[in-house]
Amino acid sequence: MISMELIDEFRKRTHSSYEEAKFYLERNNGDLLDAIIDFERSKTGRAQHRGGYHAPHIPHDRSQQDFGHKLTTLLQKGFDTRIFVEDSKSVLFNVPVILLLFLLPFWVIIVVLFVFFMMLGYKISVRDVKSRNIDVDAIFSNISEKMKETGQPAERPVPSEPQTGDKDKKDGYKEYTIE
């Protein structure tokens, strides 16, 4: 059994709750020093541990991957969801929704254009069409691979003597390169 004095001493030194103090002292068999060290090592102080709830530790890389996956999914939906302007016979044009988001500062012009097309008798519809041309996930994974490859800076050869523009005279101009 953990004494109240021991819990108070733990709380005074760590600024934690009674529940935290009891948890760490019981975990360390009543040894105050080991409990304080355990508390500090686990980083479950005020930031992640409140009211007796132990927040799950999520690795930083995993949360970045989750955010990246959500971002690529959102961008892919932006490319896949398209606005079609069509008459009774054929499609006049279709525009991905993400393009309209980039043109958001010109929203008045876009609204006027859509009203104009509707007045001319064109039908405007929004459809979810799987885009075969744009694969956002593949683009981001490709960028990620290239960044991992170039993570180590390549050693560049140092020129032994400065380059002059004499060999560029045939092009009609001189070029001087400073590296």
d(CA 80, CA 98): 9
Residue of 73, 62, 67, 82 lying closest to 136 (CA atoms): 73
What's the pTM value of the predicted model, to 2 decimals? 0.44
Tell me the C-alpha distance between 141 and 75, whole Å.
14
Instruction: Identify the helix (H) or strand (E) that includes residue 102.
Output: helix 97-102
* Residue 90 DSSP class: S
- Interval 107-156: pLDDT, tens: 899 889 889 988 998 888 888 887 677 778 788 778 878 887 776 554 55
Q: Render pLDDT for 75-118 as a digit per residue (tens, 0 to 9).
A: 888 888 888 888 888 888 888 888 888 888 888 998 898 899 88
Kindly give, in sequence order, each residue whose CB lies less than 8 Å from that of residue 76, ignoring residues fewer than 6 positions away: 131, 134, 135, 136, 137
Could you report the per-residue pLDDT of 2-14, keeping only the tens digit for each?
899 999 999 999 8
Domains of the chain: 4-54 (1.10.8), 62-128 (no CATH)
pLDDT of residue 168: 46
β-pairing verdict for 123-128 and 53-54: unpaired
